[in-house]
Structure formats: structure tokens, C-alpha cells
Amino acid sequence: MTDSDNLEISRRRLLGTVGAAGAAGLVIGAAGGVGVSSAVSGDDGSGGSGSGGAQALTTVGATEVAFHGRHQAGITTPLQARGHLVAFDLAPGAGRKEAAALLRRWSATAKTLMAGKAPAGDTGIALDAGPSSLTVTFGFGRTFFDRTGLASRRPTALDPLPAFSADALDARRSEGDLWVQIGADDALVAFHALRALQKDAGDAARVRWQMNGFNRSAGATAKPMTARNLMGQVDGTGNPKPTDPDFDRRIFVPAGASGAEEWMAGGSYAVVRRIRMLLDDWEKLPQDRQEKVIGRRKSDGAPLSGGTETTELDLNKLGPDGKTVIPDNAHSRISAPEQNGGAAMLRRPFSFHDGIGPDGTPDAGLLFVCWQADPLRGFVPVQRKLDRGDALSAFIRHEASGLFAVPGGPAEGEYVGQRLLEA
């Protein structure tokens, strides 16, 4: 067998591994609930992150994600190793015409970059790299509709999220007219996309805020497995799976949507939150206390009620002391779908670390992104429950928030948002 044959086999293995959409997601939250998770799993049924599979690192750059499709890329796509979240506000005087032109430019650039090609006037930042699983996802904030004269087509699902008691939100790093999510398995490829889209914005839009994140790199573990968050917890258990019979109903707006939401068919709503983890406080807790806060073993993510990582929680199991093995205020208990009327969301976050503060504490945590067909039936009920008594709330702080309508994927020849902007 030749070297080229081996490379092609490795590439096919990689494509099969990262293409297996699965599930993951330990919700992390309290002072305004949080979802910590991996959006997809490996193909071994472990429920782990698709970016953690065993594959030759030389094949990572070859993976390409399609730009066109029923849904935008970056929702059920396996989590990538690097990510950027950025919000833009339309420039003063810019309206629907300018927004449409901008989305045309952005869509053309995203399509080119996701194919591993260089757009006109390229800077060469990612020269020699392949597509590296690059995805670019676009969304609209509530204010976008007023600025473009499209208020009558703003879905009610974009109504402002309710206030949560423990929020400490920075308005300067929240919301925005337009939102872009970038993910890639190579840092230069991700930055290249960010830089290209920023340049494309030109005079039409200005950056409102930007955040950088990361996940475990492809090939870092011997086999696909669930990643850990910055608290050291196995993080990615229990997300809805694309193979679930009700997955589309929970995550995507149906094709038969009508009225103000008609243009959102095949789309989803993204809740975006910057959640800082108070790591110094967390790391002072002995391991058994940490496990009771979460309700799962730290070693393997299995529930304290027994079994393996994917074993269902036994919320009624009692210990020798007569108390429930999974404490009443444990994060996993409070966020469990059966405790929240079946509320579900697809959590697809990135971790972040933005340096050490003057007091010596790390500015680190989770860039939480969750997807659902309706935030009022996904994020909000779970967040309200967490807000009332999650044991994890003492160790996290919600510092920024946004809600965005992410339309369905563009058909061949379309740009993202065309069904809204040209209706």
C-alpha cells in the first residue's frame, strides 16, 4: 500500500469521525444558567466531542464543511478546536440595502474560505492550510430589524430574554445587530476568516464585541471521548442528538413556519453568553464537594447514582444517610430535562482564557452557545430553574448575553438571509 493510499484512508476515517453528529452537554449555570457541552460525538457511541477523535494530525486540515444546505454550518457540525464569536452593529445611516450587500459579500467570502480557497485580495494568513473544518454562521439580533425597516418581520422568539437575578451583564459586550460564529480546527484558519469578514464589513458595519475560544484539538486523545471544561469536569453529556426523533422539532424552526417567522424555516435561535468561572474558588473545594455540586463523578462523568457517563440520572436514589445521592441543588439534577418540562437545547460552547487580572485571578470560563427552535421553550425555563438554587452558581458569573435569529442555510445561488432581506 502506498503512502498516498494510507493518506486517503486516514482522510476517509477523519471525515467519517467528524461527520458523526452526536451529543453532549453538561449544563453549567446558576446565576443565569449555562450550558457547557460538546455538540457532537465520535462514532463510538461515547457521547464525546467529535474534535477529540484519534486521527492522523496531517489529515485535520483536509476536512471541508459545505456552505450551502438546509441549515447553516456550525450548528450540528462537530466542535472545532478554535472559535471566534463577533457581533457587529450597522453603521449610522446603513439600512436594508447596505445590509443585503454586506450579507452577499460575507456569504461569498465564507463559501470560498470554507472550501479552503483564498478570496480576492487575500492576505495569505492561512496560506498552505486546508479548510480545517471551517464554519461561518450568521445571525440577526433584535435591533437589526428596526435599523433595516423590517420590524414587522421580527419573530416573537427574539423578544428580550428575561432578567436573571445573578446576571452581571456588560451591555458593551452583549447583543448586536449582526452575529457571526467562526469555528475551525486550525487557529490561523479561524483568524483568517475573522479578518476577512471584518474587512468585508467595510463602512456598512462596525464591530461591537469579539470573543475568542478554544476546545480540545483533534487527535489529542487516543480515542473519541467527552472533553473537559476548565473546571476539570467531563463536559458534554446529555445533549440532544441529531438521531433523536424529536431533534429537528426542538432545535430548528419547521419548514411550515408562517407569518413573521416564515423566513426562519430551517433556522434556529442562538443564545450566547460569556460565563466566567471563578476557578480559584472552585479549586479550593475537595473533589467530593465538587462532585456533589455537579452531581457527577469527576473521574469519568458518571452520575453519583451510579453507572457510566451515559447512564440516566437516578434522581430518587438514596444514600446510607437517607438523603438523595444526587443533592437537591446539584447542577445536573436542576438542569435535567425531566426537571424542566422536557426543555432541551443543543449546547455548543468554546472555553476562553483572556489573561490574568490585576488581582491574580484568571479571566477564564465558557463562551456558551446554545441552539433551539424557541428560546422560551429551551434556554429560558432551564435558566430560570438554575437561577433559583443551582449549587454551581457560587462559582460562575454571567458577564455578557445575546440572542440571535440564525436563518436556515442558503440554497445554491443564495446568500444567508436573502429570504428576509429580499422578500
> To 5 degrees, how large is the angle CA 70–CA 72–CA 75?
115
Amino acid identity for residue 383 in this structure: Q
391 has a pLDDT exceeding 50: yes
Q: What is the mean pLDDT of the chain?
A: 87
90 has pLDDT over 60: yes
Strand partners, 180: 86, 138
For residue 362, is pLDDT > 50?
yes
| Contact of 38 with 236, CB cutoff 8 Å | yes
Mutual angle of helices 187-201 and 96-114, in 10-degree steps: 160
Q: Tell me how far apart the alpha carbons of residues 420 and 385 are, in angstroms, rounded to a whole number.
A: 34
Cβ–Cβ < 8 Å for 131, 193: no
pLDDT at 58: 62
In this predicted structure, the answer to whether residue 188 has a pLDDT above a threshold of 90 is: yes
Helix extents (H) in 141-286 = 142-147, 187-201, 247-251, 279-284
How are beta strands 396-406 and 268-277 bridged, if at all?
A: antiparallel
DSSP at 352 = E
Pick the more confident residue, 332 or 43. 332
Give whole-number Cα distances, 187 to 138, 196, 327, in Å.
Answer: 20, 14, 40
**pLDDT beyond 50 at 189:** yes
Global pTM exceeds 0.85: yes
**DSSP annotation string for 13-33:** HHHHHHT------EE--STT-
Q: By the 8 A CB rule, do 10 and 199 touch?
A: no
Give me the mean pLDDT over the 257-272 stretch.
94
Mean pLDDT along residues 26-48: 37
191-212 residue pLDDT tens: 999 999 999 999 999 999 999 9
Average pLDDT, integer, range 65-84: 97
**Which one is predicted more confidently, 125 or 22?**
125
**Predicted pLDDT at 201:** 98
- Per-residue burial over 234-257, b = 16 or more CB atoms within 10 Å of its CB, e = otherwise: bbbbbbbbbeeeebbebbbbeeeb
pLDDT at 301 over 50: yes
In degrees and rounded to multiples of 5, residue 22 shows phi and psi of -135, -130
3-state secondary structure 387-418: HCCCHHHHHEEEEEEEEEEECCCCCCCCCCCH
Our answer to whether residue 177 is catalytic in this structure is no
Beta bridge partners of 54: none
CA distance 396 to 30: 7
Q: Bridge-partner residues for 212, per DSSP? A: 84
Q: What confidence tens digit (pLDDT) does each residue in 96-133 have?
A: 999 999 999 999 999 999 999 999 889 999 999 999 99
**Is a pLDDT exceeding 50 seen at residue 354?**
yes
pLDDT at 8 over 50: no
Whether 138 has a pLDDT exceeding 90, the answer reads yes
> What values do phi and psi take at 47, rounded to 5?
80, 15
User: Of 235, 248, 374, 387, which residue is the catalytic one?
Assistant: 235
Local confidence band at 343 (pLDDT 50, 70, 90 cut-offs): confident
- Residue 55 confidence (pLDDT) above 80: no
Q: What is the pLDDT of residue 141?
A: 98
Q: What Rg do the C-alpha atoms of the chain give, in angstroms?
A: 21
Rounded mean pLDDT of 260-286?
97
Instruction: Give the Cα separation of 332 and 202 in Å (integer).
Output: 45
